Structure 1
Amino acid sequence: MANSTASAAASWQTIAHRDSLIPSRWRLPAELLASLPTNVTGIPPQFLTAREVELTGLTASELARKIAARQVTAREVTVAFCHRAAIAHQLVNCLTEIFFDSAIARAEELDRILAKTGKVLGPLHGVPISIKDHFNIEGLETTGGYVSYANHGPVKKDALAVEILRNAGAVLYVKTNNPQCMMVLETVSNIYGRTLNPRNTTLGAGGSSGGEGALLALRGSPLGLGSDVGGSIRVPAAFNGLYGFKPSGRRVPTSGWECENMGQESIIAVSGPLGRSIEDLNLFFQVTSDAKPWLYEPLLEVPWKTDEQLNFNPRRLTIGLMLWDEVVMPHPYLTRILKAVAAKLQAAGHEVANFKPYDHGRAWSDILLPLYFTDGGENIRKTLQASGEPMLPSAKHLMDDPIVKPLEIHELWKHHVARDNYRTEYLEHWNSTARTTTSGKPIDVIICAPSCVQGTPHDVRPWWGYCSQWNLLDYPCGIIPAGTAEADDQYPDNYKPVNALDEGNFRLYDSNLYAGMPVTIQVVGRTLQDEKVMKAMEIIDQVINRKEKPSSRL
C-alpha cells in the first residue's frame, strides 16, 4: 500500500499544476507568504489598483448594470477579478483550475458584441462567475477531489447549470476547490490540498463548496456556483460571512457534475449560488429559470415567481425562532445573534414565535445518515483505491461512524418509508404553529443557526444537523450575514452538555479563537416555497443589515 500511495502522490503533484498558471506579475512576494497573519482579508487591496479594488467590491448585479450601461468594460472587470482570484488562491489555496487567458478573450468578445449590437448577450453579460470543481466545464478536467478522476482528461461538455450561466453572458475564469469524498464540511483533498478560512487560517473554510466560500470572502469572485446535499453551500457561506441558498430539489440542474455518489436519490443533492447579496441570489435563480432547464433535464417545471406572485404579507412576517435543535447547542455568539435578530424583527413589526424542533436527533441517526451512505461508503473507498490515495481524517471521521453500513434492498425501502413519514410528521408539526401565532396561520419561515459553530479547526467533524436536517426534509433555505463573534461571548456558567455531541462542541469553544469571525443566520421554508424564503431573506436582511432594496434602474 505504501508504494501505491507514493505513486499516487507523485501523480497528483504533477497534475495539480495550477499555480504555474498565475502570471508572474500577480505573484505575491515569497517573504510575505512565509509570514502571513491568520487574518489575510486585508492583504489583497495592497496589491491591486484602486480601480481593481473598486470593481471587485461590487456585487454581480451591480457589475451587470455597469457593464450594460457601458460604464465599465467586461474586459476590465474580468482582469480585476482574475487578479484578485490569483491573490486569493496564494493566500488560502481555493482554486483548482485557472483559465484567465480564455476568460479575458471571452470578455473582449462580449465587449465587441455590446459595441456592435448595443445589446447585452444576457443578464450576466461580462460578469465573472466562479464554478465549484465538480461541475464540468468544457475543455477542463474535473477531479471532484479525487486523484483517480484526474486521469479522465478534459471533459467535452459543460454541465447544464454552467451552460446556462455561459449563455446568459457570464465569464468563466476559475474552478474552486472541493474536498475528497465531498461529504465533509471542510475542504481538503490529496490532489489540491486544504482551503483555509481567510478570516482565520487556523480554521476551515467549510465544505464542500469551501473553495467558493474562501474565494468570495476575499472578493475574488462576485458570484459562485456550488452544490449542497448536507450543507455544502450553506456551511461555506456561513463560515465565510456570505449569502447562500439551497433550493428545493429538482429546481436547478445537477446534470454534468462528477462525484462518486451520482445516482444516489435517497437525499436529493442540489445546485445553488453563493454570493454577496440577496439580489445576486435572486439573479442566479431568475437566469436559471428563464433558461427553462426542465426542457433539457428532468426537473420540475416551476418558473421562478416574482414578488407579485407570492401569496403572503411581506410587511408582517411570522417567523419561528429555533435557538437550538435539542441535540447540540450552538456556540454562544450564534445564540446571541439569533436573539438580537429576533428582537430587531419584532421591533420592525414582524411576529416572532419560539419554534420547537421535532426529533432532529432521531432524524439524523435513524434516517438521514443511513440514507447518505446506503452502500456503506464502498463506492468512496473504491474510488480512493483506484489511485492508492489515502482517506483523509475529515472523511474518515464520517465513514467510520458505526451507523454507516450497507443496506439490503428491503432495509433501504424501510428507510425511505421512514423518511417520507418523517416529512409528513414535520409538515404537521409546522402547521401546528398556527395555534401559537396571532394570525392563526402557520409560521412563514424559521430562523436558526446554520451550524453549531462558525468554523472548525482542521480535521474536526462538527455536528451537521443544523443544515442536513433541511436536506432530509427537502426544505429551501438560505444564509444571511448577521453579526460578528465577540471575545466576551460565553456559555452560561452553569451550562452542562446534554450529550456527547454537545460536549464535543462545548469543548471546541474558545472565545479568543472565534472572536472577530462573521456570524450568520439561516432562513428555512417549506418545500417549493423557494421564492417565499428568498423574499423573507430580503426583508430580514433589510431589517438586520439596514439594506434598502436595490433599484432596477441602470
Structure 2
Amino acid sequence: MGSTNPSTWESISLQKRASLSASIPPEWRIPSHLLPPPSQTDVTIFPKTSGWFTPEELAITSSSAASLLSDLASGKLTSVAVTTAFCKRAAAAHQLTNCLSEIFFDRALATAAKLDDHLARTGKTVGSLHGLPVSLKDNFNLIGVDSTVGFTSHVGDPAKEDALLVEMLRDRLGAVFYVKTNVPTAMMIAETVNNLTGRTVNPKNRRLTSGGSSGGESALIAFGGSVLGVGTDIGGSLRIPAACTGLFTIRPSFGRFPTGCCRSGMPGQEAVHSVNGPLATSLDDLEYYCKSVVDAEPWTTDPKCMPIPWRQPDLPQTASGKTATKLKVGIIWHDNVVLPTPPVTRALQIAKEKLLAAGHEVIDWTKIIGDAHKVGAILLMRMFVADGGKAVAWELERTGEPLRPEMAPFANAEELGSYAMWKLHLERSAFQKRYLDLMRTAGVDVLLGPTMPFAAVENGTFRHVGYTGVFNVLDYSSISFPTGVVVDKDIDRPLKASDGYTPLSSTCAAIHNEYNPEAIHGMPVSLQLTAKRLEEEKAIAMCRIVMHAMA
C-alpha cells in the first residue's frame, strides 16, 4: 500500500485486520462454542479450562524460559514442539485480546526445524536462547515483515533489513521469532490503541488496558502466548504495560542493548533515547535475557552500544561486611504532581515496613526531590513535540488518517528552531546534574516508588506518565515488578477530602475522581525500582533483595 496507494486509511485498516485474521491457521481458530462471552473479563483461565489445549501444550506454555531452555538444550524438547505450542497460544491470545500486529508461524516453524537439525547434527546449541520462541514489539524490523508502528501509511512496506537486536537474538543466540505485537499510534500513547488494528485489552480483565506502548507484548505474555518478549521504552512504554499486567521488565540505560535499524514513530528524535528491554514473568528470566544480550557483545555491531560486559553488582554491605546487604532506599510516596491511588500507596507502605524489618534504611525521597519530577515530566513532553508534531502529521497525511485524541499535544505543538533545541538540551543536562547531586548527597542506593498512579485502569482512561518518564530523561536503569499485593475493593477505598485528601493538580483530581476499586479488584500491584545510569546489574540485584524482604 505505502505512500503511493490511493486507498483511504479506513480501507487500509480493514484490509490489514482481515489479513491478520487470515494468517491464523484454521486449526488454531477458537471454536465458536468455546469462545468466552464478551462479558467474561478474565480470559487468562481459558487455556486451562477450555479443553482446547493438550496437556503437553499447556505444560510447555506454562514453563519458565529457563526451564524451556534447559529442556531444549538437552533435547528433551524440540524447538518445533515448543514453537508450535506458543504459536497456538499466541493465536488464542490475539483472538481474545487483539494483541498481535504481525503473524508468521510458518517462518517460525521453519527456523525451529533448522535449529533442531543443528542440535541433532552437532550436539551444540546455537546460543543461550537456542530454540526459544521470542515475541517482538511491532517496531523491530524483520526482513519481509511490516513494521507499521500503528500507522496505516506503513502497511505494505515490509522491512528490508533486520533490526540489530533481531539479528543478534536469532543468529548469535538462537531465538525463534513467530509474532510481532500491537502498539499505539507512533508508540506515543500509554495505552495500546491505534486506527490500524484497534485496541489491545488486558487478558486479566478485558475492561482494563494492557498499557502502552508495549501493550501487545504485555497482553501476549500475561495470557501465556509468549514466555519472553522484547519491547521498547521512551517514556514508560515497557514499565507501564508490565505494571498493568503484573509482569517484570527493565528499562535499561541507553547503550547497553542494541537499538539500531528499528522503526521509530518519530525518526531522528534523540533528545530522549528510546531503549529496548525484555518483559517476562520472573526476575530470573529477565536477568538471563539481559546477560545473554550483553554477553553477545552488541557493541561489535551497534556503534551506539557501550563495550560494558555484564558485571557482578557491587552492593553495599552491613557494618560487619560479612554477609548481609544493607540498602538505603528512597521511597517516592508521590511525585508532587499526582498522588498514587490507595492500592499503590498501600504497597509502598508494606514495602517500607518490610524493608525496615529486614534491616534496610528507608528515607522519604518525596521531601528531597521537591519539584524535580514535575520539571522532568515537562522536559520530556517538550522534547517529544519539539518538531511541532511534524513527524506524526506527515505519516497521518499520507493516507488521510486522523490524529487520535490521546495525541492532542502533537497537534498543538510549535516547532523549535535549532537554537531553541540546543537550549532545551542544556535544560535537560542541568536537570540530570541536579538529580544526580540529590542522589549523591542523600547517599541512596535505590529509589522505590509507583510505576504509575494506579494498579490498573479502565480502557481509555490512562493519565500521567510522570512516574516513569522522569527516569527516561535521566536515563536511569529502572525495573517494574509485581509486589504480590493485589487490589482489595474493601480496603483500597477512594480518598476523600474528609480524610485529608487534597489534589496536587488537576490531573491528580481527575485520576482520583475516576478511581474505581470495584473495576480493578484483584489486579496485581506493581512498583518501580530505580538505580542510577548504567546500573542494570545492580538494579536487578537490588530488586531481588526488595522482593525477598516483601515476601
TM bracket, shorter-chain basis: over 0.9
Matched, 1:333 2:343: yes
Partners of 1:390 and 1:456 lie apart in 2 by: 25
Q: Specify the alignment match of 1:505 in structure 2.
A: 511
Does the 8 Å CA contact 1:44/1:88 hold for their aligned counterparts? no
Aligned to 1:474: 475
Structure 2 residue aligned with 1:439:
none
Contact 2:457/2:520 (<8 A) preserved: no
Q: What's the secondary structure of 2:429's corresponding residue?
A: helix
**Does the 8 A contact of 1:358 with 1:429 survive in 2?**
no
Does 1:72 pair with 2:77?
A: yes
What is the alpha-carbon distance in structure 1 between the residues aligned to residue 509 and residue 93 of structure 2? 35
TM-score, with structure 2 as normaliser: 0.92
CA deviations over 1:370-424 (Å, ceiling 9, x no partner) = 111111212101110111111222223x435x6x321122221111111111111
How far off is 1:461 after superposition? 4.2
Q: Which moved more, 1:379-388 or 1:109-118?
A: 109-118
Tell me how far 1:94 sits from its aligned partner.
Answer: 0.3
Deviates more, 1:123-132 or 1:284-293: 284-293
Matched, 1:164 2:168: yes
Is 1:93 the counterpart of 2:98? The answer is yes
Corresponding residue SS for 2:525: strand
Deviation at 1:34, TM superposition (A): 4.7
Match of 2:147 among 142, 150, 174: 142
Over 3 Å counting, the alpha-carbon distance change for 1:5 and 1:332 in structure 2 is farther
Distance 1:5 1:215, change over 3 A: farther
Are positions 1:349 and 2:359 aligned together?
yes
- CA distance in 1 between counterparts of 2:505 and 2:286 reads 37
Match of residue 409, structure 1, among 410, 418, 422: 418
CA distance in 1, matches of 2:473, 2:431: 9
- Which residue identity is paired with 1:40? V
| Aligned partner of 1:521 among 520, 527, 533 | 527
CA distance in 2, matches of 1:71, 1:413: 57
Q: The residue matched to 1:30 in structure 2 has which SS?
A: coil
Q: Residues 194-233 of structure 1 correspond to what in structure 2 (within 5 A)?
A: 194-233=199-238
Aligned-partner SS, 2:185: coil
1:88-127 equivalence runs, <5 A: 88-127=93-132
Larger displacement relative to structure 2 (33-42 or 463-472): 33-42
Partner of 2:320: none
Q: Which residue of 1 aligns with 2:10?
A: 9
Q: Does 1:394 align with 2:406?
A: yes
Whether the 8 Å CA contact 1:186–1:394 is kept in 2: the answer is no
Distance in 1 (alpha carbons) for counterparts of 2:504 and 2:355:
30
Partner of 1:23: 25
Q: In structure 1, what is the Cα distance between the partners aligned to 2:550 and 2:95?
A: 34
Cα RMSD over matched residues? 1.8
Q: Name 2:321's counterpart in structure 1.
A: none
CA contact (8 A) 2:16 2:197 kept: no
Deviates more, 1:223-232 or 1:102-111: 102-111
Tell me, in whole angstroms, the C-alpha distance in 1 between the residues paired with 2:90 and 2:427: 45
Match of 1:462 in 2: 463
Gaps in structure 1 of 5+ consecutive residues: 434-441, 546-554
**Residues 341, 361 of structure 1: CA spacing in aligned structure 2 closer, same or farther, 3 A cutoff?**
closer
The count of corresponding residues between Structure 1 and Structure 2 is 529
SS, match of residue 82 in structure 2: helix
Runs of 4+ in 1 over 6 A off after TM superposition: none
Aligned-pair identity (%): 37
SS in 2 for 1:511: coil
1:202 counterpart SS class: strand
The aligned counterpart of 1:234 is 239
Question: Aligned letter for 1:131?
Answer: L
Give the Cα–Cα distance (whole angstroms) in 1 for the partners of residues 504 and 370 of structure 2: 17
Q: Secondary structure at the match of 1:11?
A: helix
Asked whether the equivalents of residues 228 and 269 of structure 1 are also in contact (C-alpha less than 8 Å), the reply is yes
| Greater displacement, 381-390 / 67-76 | 67-76
Q: Kindly state the Cα deviation for residue 260 of structure 1 after the two structures are TM-superposed.
A: 3.0
> Using the alignment, how far apart are the partners of 1:73 and 1:241 within structure 2?
29
Match of 2:201, SS state, is: coil
Secondary structure at 2:518 match in 1: helix
| Alpha-carbon distance between aligned partners in 2 of 1:36 and 1:53, rounded to the nearest angstrom | 25
- Structure 2: gaps spanning 5 or more residues: 318-323
Rounded to whole Å, the distance in 1 between the matches of 2:360 and 2:54 is 44
Q: Distance in 1 between matches of 2:184 and 2:6?
A: 18
Residue 429 of structure 1 aligns with which residue? 438
Q: How many angstroms apart in 2 are the aligned matches of 1:394 and 1:447?
A: 29
* 1:484 match: 486
